[in-house]
Structure 1
Amino acid sequence: MPSSRIRRAWLSAAAAAALAFTGLAGPATAKDLPPDEPGSWIQEPRATEGALPAFGTRAAAVPGGAASPGDFTLSPGEMNAETTERVSRLASVLPESGVQDLLAAANRPIEPGCSRDPFAAAPDPAVKYCLKDDDSVSREWVPQGFTGVSDAKANEFWGAAGKIQLFASYDGWDPGRESDPNPAAGDCTAAELEDNDACNQKGVRITFVQSRTNPATGSPEIKYRHVLLGWTYVNSADHVSFDGLHAGEYPIQKGVHAGGIVWYGNYLYVADTRGGLRVFDMRLIMDLDPDNDPSTHDPMGTDSDGVKTTADVEDKTKVGRHDNVWYSFGYRYVMPQVAAWKFKAAQSNPKGSYACVSTGAPKASYISLDRSTVPDRLVMGEYCRPESGYPSTGRIASYPVAALEGRSSDVTAQGWANYLPLANGGAQGAAAYKGTLYVNESKGTDEPGNLWRYQWSDGRLVQNGQAVKTARGAEDLYVERGTGRLWSLSEHRPGSADDCRANPGPGDPAGADFCQRVLYAHDLSRLDSRP
């Protein structure tokens, strides 16, 4: 059965309250719901769950030492062919937008050199960008992965679009990023559904950031635009449709965390923690408001039924096709998943835990790209917190990234893998460049994170210099080769469980700005010169 997770996003507040314990569809939208056959709505990759190894046989994990690269082997998603057909069908109905057109419609300004300070006593970065206030403190969207045009192209140019960076955010409110089989344990009350749209389960969004000189004014500007990631399916009325990005591995995974992203050529790779990788195509970004006037409800194309459709980007409570109208949780742009890679080995990590087994399928907690090697490689690593019986500090390995474009056979890691030299684990991101591995270690909301530098020596990762203090809540890493900068972003916000006001900084005694999110970059030359 489709979970209440999917259905809840399409119900009104009253209907959701009335039907929360039944999982039944409201009559007004019954024909638009996903069908009950699992193969037609489930999203890949799905983790194969294995038994935990016996306590006395769990492999030792030596920080910095060698791990098994064979555990990282990826297999093409079983639904890739079906996904291709569905996306092709969707593209025949919805108009497409290129990256440059999307950036031309960027609608949210960034404030460079802003006063918000998640660094406290840590050294100031070379560059700091502030998001708009709502994005900076949003309970709903939590930023994670980071990439950019320096990953995408060897020459770091994407047409005339200028400098481009991308970051990913997962829907952290829960509008229910989990397919909990017990609808009574649903995360959104009827009052919350009525109050705003945040209890819709939106999954993951990608934010495109552009730095350029405005051609009309001649002045420099930095703007950004959010794009919803989607998954296509054929609904019960035999219409192609889409939903937000979800995962079906509850309770071992509560959703696609998007802890790392890599843009390479035309493709965007998104880390799927327990599964592997989700793949998106930059040439297949759907535009549901081509005239840039939300009130006009632009005409869309026709599906196989020949019925004319329109789009509504004003209504933030629905997604996909409903009664011949397309919705997208209010987002103008939607990018559907085109393929998946899943771990060949079974997932034997503890359920709902940050502890990690030392062998078997890893967790795809973060990914990055290394263009300083031949061939270019995609680096993947784990977020782990060692505990009794689970000594792993997190493994890291790499793949020849070009091999991931084929999707016809398994892709193996490049003959090496290591446990990270972090005694307490906690790696949130890692990037390799010119023989150095940079690792962001999170220290939670209580103190700035650590940025570590490691190098390989006789197959081991060894520490190179002391940790550099960095932002509180430091996340994924991205190397921008042309500027010689190492980019990241902070995930925390003031208030609730991420309340950083308990530890305000010296320049902000009230703590009001201390943990509002920023994008930031360190100069690699300055990092590498530190003791």
Structure 2
Amino acid sequence: MPTRRIRRAWLTAAATASLAFTGLAAPAQAEDLPPTAPQSWIQEPRTTEATASPYTTRAWTEPGGAASPGDFTMSPGAMNAETTTRVARLDSVLPKSGVQNLLAGANRTVQPWCSSRDPFGTAPDPDIKYCLQDDDSVSREWVPQGMTGVSDAKDNELWGDAGDIQLFASYDGWDPGRENDPLPTAGDCTTAELEANDACNQKGVRITFVQSRTNPATGSPEIKYRHVLLGWTYVNSADHVSFDGLHAAEYPIQKGVHAGGIVWYGNYLYVADTRNGLRVFDMRTIMDLDPDGDPKTHDAMGSDTDGVKTTANVEDKTKVGRHDNVWYSFGYRYVMPQVAAWKFKATQSNPQGSYACVSTGAPKASYISLDRSTTPDRLLMGEYCRPESGYPSTGRIASYPVAALEGRSADVAAEGWANYLPLANGGAQGAAAHEGTLYVNESKGTDEPGNLWRYTWGGGRLVQSGQAVKTARGAEDLYVERGTGRLWSLSEHRPGQEDDCGANPGAGDPDGTDYCQRVLYGHKLSWLDGQP
């Protein structure tokens, strides 16, 4: 099997046009590629797309005003049954690891309160701050976005015996070589480009599990974390079950899901797919490609329906899925495959390549969060929008009874309310509700600290409560941790991303403080609520 995506004779201009028209995304390292991409390679969800048209006054009310909840209705993914079959088949071949075992072997370390990384600048310090290892903090490839944790997952905030767990999502935002390829729609990088930099592979999305605990050997407190690659199962032309990274269906050939919001609820992890809806993953099907913990041993895996014995290789970062009876995962030990999807029932008409949003029709799933302070528990979903001429929407927000999403057999409607966000200029990066207050993160880019806004519902409108609280630069998704009374978020920027961040760590500030290395952080809800 080939080790990389190289342009092939069969991928003519006509074939490329066909892929672009249908929105198919062929697996990154597919085995025995046929002349046309088969249906089994389509990644769900896939909401119906239409050409965007401006809406001036139609349905638009005002920032904070009522929107149509019917636009948020979601339908089960058309391939849910097939996806279930594929995951079961993959499960019979690859060994599994539970969340607690994964955390026990966490291989990376958080440094709390590292003074050299300060995306807050002149903004008030948070109640708690976690600094990632250097390569994660400055990675050009992996960009942090969504956040959730065990407080969302379980009412008692425990996963078995494990508590104090946070999760965050990152998307693969770098594809060196694509912009220089003669035919960018035909794949990522040439052979030489891939050999020079494995980032040429579009790896999709990874989820990071973080745990604060006591080291059993030393008795000292520690914060450890581990990355897990998200995957999409498919069956190739050799009738082998395999998996690829996540790729959004609206782009031709290998373009990543943004993962701007995630929610862990019970056994399931919900990941926002911006133009389409939700992707669903199961904590009970985390595959372990290195069970003995020694990457050099290339552990034995199971057999697929062909009966052929397979092994795994987590040393090679350039491949994913099954190749010549060897399993690869871009170098990650753990892979969690998608088990289901929810797609918007309304037509998606938001203009592509723009931050503008239409006022009606399918929304964008820019971020999601969980509210356990209501009955029933609800999943909030909102849009990132920047109003422009003809597109006045500041972004809509609505919610669903989250338990209804476990059924996957019938449409799930929003709860009967929806609002346009009160941000006059849009730009919401995350939102979370708790005890009747809606908290909204607005990023101001790398130039200055972000804004954390507070709103309440009154008379069918969202009404501002107090002034904006300054927070981190590049502030992203929001997560309420009930037991500690904290509102968590994370920052997305990195050094060198903009002039304001500097080309090197420490260069963003004359005192040596770096405004643009990523951190996870939590504000006390009681402190936020007490601000003017």
Say whether the fold is shared (TM-score over 0.5).
Answer: yes
1:109 matched residue in structure 2: 109
- 1:355 maps to 2:356: yes
Distance 1:34 1:342, change over 3 A: farther
Share of identical aligned residues, percent? 83
Q: Are the aligned partners of 2:54 and 2:358 in contact in 1 as well (CA < 8 Å)?
A: no
Deviation at 1:495, TM superposition (A): 0.8
Partner of 1:11: 4
Is the 2:507–2:514 Cα contact (8 Å) retained in structure 1? no
- Show CA shifts across 1:394-421 (max 9, x none): 0000000000000000000000000000
Q: 1:224 to 1:373 in 2, by over 3 A?
A: same
Matched with 2:25 is: none
1: CA distance between counterparts of 2:305 and 2:350? 44
Change (3 A) 1:17 1:516: farther
Aligned-partner Cα distance in 1 for 2:178–2:208: 19
Question: Does the aligned pair in 1 maintain the 2:90–2:241 contact within 8 Å?
Answer: yes
Contact 2:263 2:269 in 1 (8 A): yes
Q: Which aligned pairs between 1:18-33 and structure 2 lie closer than 5 A?
A: 31-33=31-33
Partners of 1:68 and 1:187 in 2: CA distance: 40
Q: State the distance in 1 between where 2:182 and 2:419 align.
A: 37
Match of 2:21 in 1: none
**1:108-187 superposed matches below 5 A:** 108-115=108-115, 116-174=117-175, 182-183=183-184
Aligned-residue offset at 1:253:
11
Deviation of the 1:301 alpha carbon: 0.2
CA distance in 1, matches of 2:41, 2:528: 47
Partner of 2:291: 290
Query: Mean alpha-carbon deviation: is it higher for 188-197 or for 203-212?
Result: 188-197
Other-structure match for 2:273: 272
Deviations 1:442-488 (A, max 9, x none): 11111110000000011100000000000000000000000000000
> What are the within-5 Å matches in structure 2 for residues 444-523 of structure 1?
444-497=445-498, 500-501=501-502, 508-509=509-510, 513-523=514-524
Q: CA deviation at 1:10?
A: 3.8
Mapped to 2, the partners of 1:136 and 1:514 lie a distance apart of 11
Aligned to 1:336: 337
User: RMSD of the TM alignment (CA)?
Assistant: 2.7
Q: 1:121–1:300: structure 2 CA closer, same or farther, 3 Å change rule?
A: same
Contact kept? 1:383, 1:394, Cα under 8 Å: yes
Partner of 2:205: 204
Paired residue for 1:80? 80
Task: Report the Cα offset of residue 501 of structure 1.
Answer: 2.5
**How many angstroms apart in 2 are the aligned matches of 1:305 and 1:83?**
20
> Given residue 109 of structure 1, which amino acid in structure 2 is its aligned partner?
T
Q: Unaligned 5+ residue runs, structure 1?
A: 1-6
TM-fit CA distance, 1:19: 9.7
- Secondary structure of 1:97's match? coil
8 Å CA contact 1:177–1:254 kept in 2: the answer is: no
Q: Aligned pair count?
A: 517
For 1:62, what is the secondary structure of its paired residue?
coil
Query: What TM-score does the superposition give when structure 2 sets the normalisation length?
Result: 0.92
Q: Give the match's secondary structure for 1:146.
A: strand
Any residues of structure 2 matched to 1:361-376 within 5 Å, and which?
361-376=362-377
Distance 1:224 1:486 in 2: 20
Cα distance in 1 for residues equivalent to 2:355 and 2:313: 40
C-alpha distance in 2, partners of 1:518/1:417? 32
Return the letter of the residue paired with 2:101: D
Aligned to 2:42: 42
Contact 1:253-1:273 at 8 Å conserved across structures: no
C-alpha separation in 2, matches of 1:254 and 1:312? 25
Deviates more, 1:244-253 or 1:321-330: 244-253
Label 1:34 to 1:442 Cα distance change in 2 as closer, same or farther (>3 A): farther
Determine if contact 1:501/1:510 at 8 Å carries over to the other structure.
Answer: no
The secondary structure found in structure 2 opposite 1:391 is: coil
Separation (CA, whole Å) in 2 of partners of 1:184 and 1:78: 26
Query: How far 1:174 sits from its partner (Å)?
Result: 2.4
Output the amino acid matched with 1:142.
Answer: V
Mapping 1:223-242, distance limit 5 Å: 223-242=224-243
Measured at CA, do residues 175 and 413 of structure 1 come closer, stay the same or move farther in structure 2, by a change above 3 Å? farther
Counterpart AA for 2:78: E
1:252/1:274 contact within 8 Å kept = no
Structure 2 counterparts to residues 53-92 of structure 1, below 5 A: 53=53, 58-92=58-92
**Partner residue in 2 for 1:260:** 261
How has the CA–CA distance of structure 1 residues 45 and 34 changed in structure 2, closer, same or farther, with 3 Å as cutoff? farther
Letter in 2 for 1:318: K
Separation in 2, partners of 1:500, 1:21:
42
* 8 Å Cα contact 1:61-1:391 kept in structure 2: no
- Distance change >3 Å, CA 294–CA 65, structure 1 → 2: same
| Aligned 8 A contact 1:118 1:517 in 2 | yes
Contact conserved, 1:61 with 1:393, CA < 8 A, in 2?
no
Matched-pair contact (CA < 8 Å) for 1:97–1:284: yes
Matched with 2:427 is 426
CA distance in 2, matches of 1:333, 1:506: 35
Corresponding residue number in structure 1 for 2:310: 309
Question: 435-444 vs 509-518, which deviates more?
Answer: 509-518
Which SS does the other structure have where 2:357 is aligned? coil
| Matched residue type, 2:174 | W
Contact 1:32 1:322 in 2 (8 A): no
Is the CA contact 2:119–2:515 (under 8 Å) kept in the aligned structure 1? yes
- Retained in 1: the 8 A contact 2:72–2:413? yes
**1:353/1:251 CA distance change after superposition, 3 Å:** farther
Q: Deviation at 1:31?
A: 4.3
Measured at CA, do residues 135 and 54 of structure 1 come closer, stay the same or move farther in structure 2, by a change above 3 Å?
closer
Match of 2:95 in 1: 95
Kept in 2: contact 1:175–1:201 (CA 8 A): no
Distance 1:503 1:183, change over 3 A: closer
Match of 2:22 in 1: none
Judge conservation of contact 1:451–1:469 (CA < 8 Å) in 2: yes
Q: Deviation per CA, 1:370-391: give whole Å up to 9, x if none.
A: 0000000000000000000000
Letter of the 2:71 partner, please give it: D
TM-score (norm 1): 0.92
Residue by residue over 1:290-348, the C-alpha shift from the partner in whole angstroms, topping out at 9 and shown as x without a partner, is: 00000000000000000000000000000000000000000000000000000000001
Measure the CA separation in 1 of the matches of 2:385 and 2:447. Answer: 19
Q: Aligned partners of 2:93 and 2:461: how far apart in 1?
A: 52
Matches within 5 A, 1:184-199: 188=189, 190-199=191-200
Aligned partners of 2:449 and 2:496: how far apart in 1?
17
Q: 1:151-203: CA deviations, max 9, x gaps? A: 0000000112231000000000026999x994467553554312121111100
Counterpart CA distance in 1 for 2:30 and 2:219 is: 52
Instruction: Assess, with a 3 A threshold, how the Cα gap between structure 1 residues 324 and 187 changes in structure 2: closer, same or farther.
Output: closer
Mapped contact 2:171–2:204 kept (Cα < 8 A): yes
Q: Is the 8 A contact 2:43 2:247 kept in 1?
A: yes
Moved more, 169-178 or 122-131: 169-178
CA distance in 1, matches of 2:504, 2:295: 42
Aligned to 1:155, what secondary structure does the other structure show? coil
Stretches of structure 2 that go unaligned for 5 or more consecutive residues are 17-28
> Which amino acid in the other structure matches residue 95 of structure 2?
P
Letter in 1 for 2:79: M
